[in-house]
Structure 1
């Protein structure tokens, strides 16, 4: 397991838990997804030993579970400015997965002075909304993800079995996955705020996003499948072509073959592709 330490940083409503990787520079801010935590980046840390990852638990999740107040893509971006200020990081590359990609885009558009470049992993650009889905139906759409919040778990083995049953491309024997899921649990409960998840998910699906205003270098990594083998991906070829047509700073999108949404970063193979994208976009950074 990569060496790390935890600091707490004041934001509106409480303090965020932020894990810092070993080493000094270069530092990269990495932002997890809607129902995840900072140790989503365990695999990337292993693949990028020369980089110091700065990985917050977003408000309402894991070590930042007690942070109060409303949650939104914009609020997370504001929280991350506080993180950069507290750590005296003037301008950094930012890597975001899924909902974290949307937060990274918001941060880069609102504060381009703080973001050198972006790596977006299966998120950050608009996704197709299921026909007929309305904001009021988001709780039903996310019922499976939130089912783990409403029960008490007998221990990590039970929780691990449940998680890998829902994500068949992940390896239950992987110590990095075990560490990630242990970070979720406290006294048999998953530290995940239901209202924060639903608010953020609604924002991702129905909010107004300013991706067309991006000016920084961007690498985009996406999964071959959505949720399990053979399922439709989050991003179609036509959507990817549109993004590239609009954004001259967007490199050629990289597909992770044989991976679904979770496996983009929670497997060694997926993290290797993300790590290569991070290396390449950092090489494109001005200065």
Structure 2
């Protein structure tokens, strides 16, 4: 893995309430296009390290730490998907990019779709990665139970402390969705999340931000409808397996059909042999994303 993919430039972009931390992997050619990459609910901008490596300087990649995470953890609320979408728009404006290509993973896919709907002159194309499609809660399932099921593991991690950095590595290396796929890049990504001092290191994610954002992914009608209101070119890539490498992923052909997605307007394709995380970090997953962002096909 190249040094630059793990150690991008870190910039600050003015947004309401302060500054948004943004990681930047510059293109080899200053005239190359720029892509904005939006991470998931408890992630940070370094989640895109493998995609950046596979882009190999063909585009400039800008990946913000969303409000309430990593380098943007001190940027106060209000939180929520619309706030993140507006922060993405502010980033695009600050760099003079519009209309830009925006890619989002997991919760970042909802943010990406919402940014395109709220700021159509700034977003010219979107790539949605294992996210953006919302399904109604099953009959008899309470909102608070659904939130606990989805956010429970993440909230547990946010409440934990770790005596040293190796303990955090050990915690992540046990994650069933990572398994033998552990890499120098995943290590750097997880370490970016740590704040505090030994023996009480903890995740940088602000609990209120994660709770607010998670509720809106499940329950906010505006966010759920964004993918169906897109007016720009769009594509969905989905992982075959789930957040814990379980056989049932977030999406499959039946669920996508049931969601009402117009696949003529938003083509949807599986990335074989990937789960919710490896679709970003494996050769096949990151390669498929990079190929879409450069106008190629995997």
Q: Please give the TM-score of this superposition, normalised by the length of structure 2.
A: 0.87
Deviations 1:108-134 (A, max 9, x none): 111111111111000012245455443
CA offsets 1:228-273 (integer angstroms, 9 cap, x no match): 444311112123346686253323x221222211111022321111
- The match for 2:250 is 234
Tell me the equivalent position of 2:157.
148
CA distance in 1, matches of 2:143, 2:19: 29
2:54 aligned with 1:44: no
Three-state SS of the structure 2 residue aligned to 1:166 is coil
Structure 2 CA distance, aligned partners of 1:191 and 1:120? 25
- The 1:230/1:210 distance shift into structure 2, 3 A limit, reads closer
Q: Which runs of 5+ in 1 are unaligned?
A: 283-287
Could you tell me how far apart the structure 2 residues matched to 1:226 and 1:10 are? 36
Q: Superposition pairs for residues 123-272 of structure 1, below 5 Å?
A: 123-127=131-135, 129=137, 132-137=140-145, 140-141=148-149, 142-171=151-180, 173-187=182-196, 188-208=201-221, 209-241=225-257, 246=262, 248-251=264-267, 253-272=268-287
CA RMSD of aligned residues (A): 2.1
Unaligned runs of 5+ in 2: none
* 1:96 alignment partner, one of 84, 97, 104: 104
Deviations 1:41-69 (A, max 9, x none): 00100111111111000000000001112
Residues of 2 paired with 1:170 and 1:92: CA distance?
Answer: 35
Q: 1:79 to 1:241 in 2, by over 3 A?
A: same
Counterpart of 1:73 in structure 2 is 81
Note closer, same or farther for the CA distance 1:48–1:131 as it changes in structure 2 (3 Å cut). farther
Alignment partner of 2:103: what SS?
strand
Which residue of the other structure, out of 14, 17, 36, is the alignment partner of 1:13? 17
Partner residue in 2 for 1:53 = 61
Give the match's secondary structure for 1:246.
coil
Deviation at 1:99, TM superposition (A): 0.5
* Contact 1:244-1:250 within 8 A present in 2 as well: no
Give the TM-score normalised by the residue count of structure 1.
0.90
Q: CA deviation at 1:216?
A: 1.2
SS at 2:66 equivalent: coil
User: What SS class does the counterpart of residue 265 from structure 1 fall into?
Assistant: helix
Distance in 1 between residues matched to 2:178 and 2:239, nearest whole Å: 12
Offset at 1:189?
1.8
Structure 1 residues 140 and 20, CA, compared in 2 at 3 Å: closer, same or farther? same
CA distance in 1, matches of 2:215, 2:121: 28
Task: Provide the aligned length of Structure 1 versus Structure 2.
Answer: 281
Query: 2: distance between equivalents of 1:170 and 1:95?
Result: 25
